[in-house]
Structure 1
Amino acid sequence: MLRVATRSSIRTVIKSGIRGPSLISKFSSSCINKLAREGTLNSFIPDIKPLGQDKTIESNVKSETNRLSKTLNKFWEKVDVKFNENLRHYEVQLDGKTLKTPLGFPLSLPETKKQLANLVAHEWAHLPDLKVKTHSLPLTSITARAVDLRNINEQKDKNADMIAKVGNLEDIKINLIRYLDTDTCLIFTTHDEYKGNLRKRQDELYIPLIKEYEDFFTKYAKSVGNLLPNETDKIELQYLDCETDGLRGNKQSITTQNVVLHWLNQLPIYDLIALEKAILTSKSFLCGVTLLRSNVSDEYNLKTLYQLNRSNVDDYYHKTIQEIVEMGNLETIFQTEEWGEVEDTHDVDKVDWLRNLASAALLCH
């Protein structure tokens, strides 16, 4: 018999954005005006490449990253990391010249990112002396995106053309929140899929995950002020159970959206871009946050942003990259176990997952 409501078909149908008025704060005046005119948060999300697609910036700025993407040839001999005493930043240099991002900013990293600077330098030092592919520099790519975003959004007179290329921070955060509605970890299959084994494994992984993040965001909302309507209220993540809910959409409450956005507003730029990469890879907001909580090393941020619902270091919430891959890719794992892998598809996806999540983990470390 033909199955009408499979989990994958439901996920396709429920791709919906955040709608309706919201108490979300820190919008620019242009965003607020547009929201008032058009009545939907989707109205001010910019017309850029959809999330999940290639975000490579096309630019005529003279920089090493642009030169590499156009020539695909190695054009340097020596790679170094130099500490700039005046700026208290680490700079990655090719043949004595500081590497520049696609938008032309120096690839300059804060003093706390020494390890990241050395890893970026390692990428450039160990590229093969033959035709170079852009995916050979995943860590440089994600780091350059963070540097470009930081510089563009810190400018007093923001360049509209550059913002169009790299994105506005407010819009990026709104787009990330939309993944909570279609989060793969918030969609449960029917009890008969794969003889019930898939649903059993989902229950084992996702139910504790949902409870963890309900507690996490409830504690955050209460720790920073009056973000919940009533003192006794708690964050409840809405999820879709295909066994009982059938073919319908999933949507988080306005309160949940506001609390999550408030939390996003506190994230350092490197952590935010790491979160973006993890979400785009896993199609899961909860997997993205889990990656941050498992890899950020700054003690103050761990206590105030990432482990605030945990009382001591030994109890900190942590998942390995392999565990995050399983949570975000569980249905595909069951499909390939039963039907086998498609050559040059599933094997490539596995490498992409590991490369992207590892790069995100190193960026926020």
Structure 2
Amino acid sequence: MRPTARLCLSSILTPLRNPTTTKTIPITTAASVTRAFHTTPITTAKVVPVYGTGPPPRAPEPSAEFVAEERAEREERLARRRRQAELLRHAGGIQGLRSDAHAHAQTQTHGQGQTQGQHGKKSTGLKRRFWKDVSVKEVDGSLEIHLDSRPLRHPTTKAIIRLPLTKPHLAHALALEWDSLTSAQQATKQHLIPLTSLICRALDIANSPTPEATRTEITTTLLRYLDTDSLLCFAPVDPDHDPSSSSPHLRELQEQAYASTTRYLTAHAWPGISIIPVLDGTALLPVPQYPGTREVIQAWVMGLSPFELAGLERATLAGKSLLVAARLIVEWSEEGAGKSKAASTGSQNQEKGEGNGGKFGVEEASRAVSLEVDWQTGRWGEVEDTHDVQKEDVRRQFGSTVLLVSGQGTKTESG
């Protein structure tokens, strides 16, 4: 804080008392008679004393009565858990005895088996499935899956699920899916019946009361993946990478997968268009495709059959890539997937010249959509129960798509 300004009163008052006096007052005399405006003396700041450092004070200790109550509650809790564990162990032994008795009774008489089966239901938490055998039957020109004598029905519409005669592999895979269920409750869990949900999705598209609106909604959703397609996003070029190295860089793998898939699609399904990468290197915003590209792809998606459209939707959502899903559909569809004879003939000759030995299957599709994940896990390691589970789930989704669209039909040749 600044000190208060002080004025010399004697130098001011003297001329007022003697107006005619012109005597000069010495500085020393004026300084000796100075007087401050403030009557209180100036005080300096008080420094806070430094307190000594040391260990923190001890926490307050509970009273003896409270300690005794807490110990009693803890012992009671432990005793209750021991009793519960003993009851569970005893119940498990009883359940094992009942299951053995149930199996033994079934070999003797059917009536006793039913009685023991009811006891088995009481001991287990899940209700046993109401069917014993699963079979595939041909009924009225279509394939049906029968649970004993009951046909498999749509969970929502309750309509009988009928598959074309050209899809026996799909029918037997669906029957195997239901034969692997052990309880009726498992049939309500979507992750345990992925093929059933996919087939029901295709049937819903085929029997939709507003087919045009349903197809438009699906097409709009799928075209959004074209702007961020995992096959069209490239990693930056690594200046430190040695081109002569035995292990290729991620950018090289992405370029190879992109070139192979786009060349196939533009030759088979989308002739006359060019598909460019949307994110290259350090770009932040996706680059739009050339004019007319989205319109051609949209028209192709709108023209797919219900089974092809459902398979394309499942594969796109699983791999986050519309291009990989489209190639999978075109490769395996028994209905042609909208490709023309001219494009098919030219592309077949091109493939023979390139030496492409096999089809673009589930393994190739899963590798194409997981290039970056595989490359990173190859360098830094794999997270258990995360990367391996995701890899198997993508394969399962692509496999169900192949089963859905493939078949023994010859619609491509006749159409």
Q: Which bracket does the TM-score occupy, shorter chain normalised?
A: 0.5 to 0.7
User: Which of the pair has more CA radius of gyration?
Assistant: 2
- Taking structure 1 as the reference length, the TM-score comes to 0.65
Aligned pair 1:185/2:231, yes or no?
A: yes
1:81, distance to aligned residue in structure 2 (A):
2.0
Match runs of 1:55-66 below 5 Å: none
* Distance change in 2, residues 1:94/1:169 (3 Å): same
Query: What's the Cα RMSD here?
Result: 3.0
* Distance change in 2, residues 1:72/1:208 (3 Å): farther
Q: Do the aligned partners of 1:92 and 1:120 also contact (CA within 8 Å) in 2?
A: yes
Counterpart in the other structure of 1:5? none
Counterpart in the other structure of 2:111? none
1:341, distance to aligned residue in structure 2 (A):
1.3
Q: Do the aligned partners of 1:290 and 1:318 also contact (CA within 8 Å) in 2?
A: no
Q: Which one of 49, 61, 77 corresponds to residue 132 of structure 2?
A: 77
Counterpart in the other structure of 1:108? 162
* Distance change in 2, residues 1:353/1:218 (3 Å): closer
> Alignment identity in percent?
31
* DSSP 3-state at the match of 2:231: helix
Measure, in 2, the Cα distance between the counterparts of 1:90 and 1:337. Answer: 45
Q: Which moved more, 1:123-132 or 1:269-278?
A: 123-132
The unaligned stretches of length 5 or more in structure 1 are 1-70, 220-233
How many aligned residue pairs are there? 267
* Distance change in 2, residues 1:83/1:212 (3 Å): closer
Measure, in 1, the Cα distance between the counterparts of 2:330 and 2:402. Answer: 10
Measure, in 2, the Cα distance between the counterparts of 1:129 and 1:313. Answer: 51
* Distance change in 2, residues 1:215/1:311 (3 Å): closer
Q: Which moved more, 1:282-291 or 1:99-108?
A: 99-108
The unaligned stretches of length 5 or more in structure 2 are 1-125, 242-247, 407-415
* Distance change in 2, residues 1:170/1:324 (3 Å): same
Deviations 1:227-284 (A, max 9, x none): xxxxxxx4121313533x6222232345111111211122111111111111111110
Counterpart in the other structure of 1:259? 296
Counterpart in the other structure of 2:400? 359
Deviations 1:28-48 (A, max 9, x none): xxxxxxxxxxxxxxxxxxxxx
Question: Which amino acid letter does the alignment assign opposite residue 168 of structure 1?
Answer: T
1:214, distance to aligned residue in structure 2 (A):
3.5
* Distance change in 2, residues 1:118/1:193 (3 Å): farther
* Distance change in 2, residues 1:351/1:300 (3 Å): closer
* DSSP 3-state at the match of 1:208: helix
* DSSP 3-state at the match of 1:185: coil
* Distance change in 2, residues 1:280/1:172 (3 Å): same
Match runs of 1:220-259 below 5 Å: 234-243=272-281, 246-259=283-296
* Distance change in 2, residues 1:218/1:80 (3 Å): closer
* Distance change in 2, residues 1:256/1:301 (3 Å): closer
Deviations 1:196-228 (A, max 9, x none): 711121122212323333444552xxxxxxxxx
1:297, distance to aligned residue in structure 2 (A):
3.4
Question: Which amino acid letter does the alignment assign opposite residue 278 of structure 2?
Answer: L
* DSSP 3-state at the match of 1:337: helix
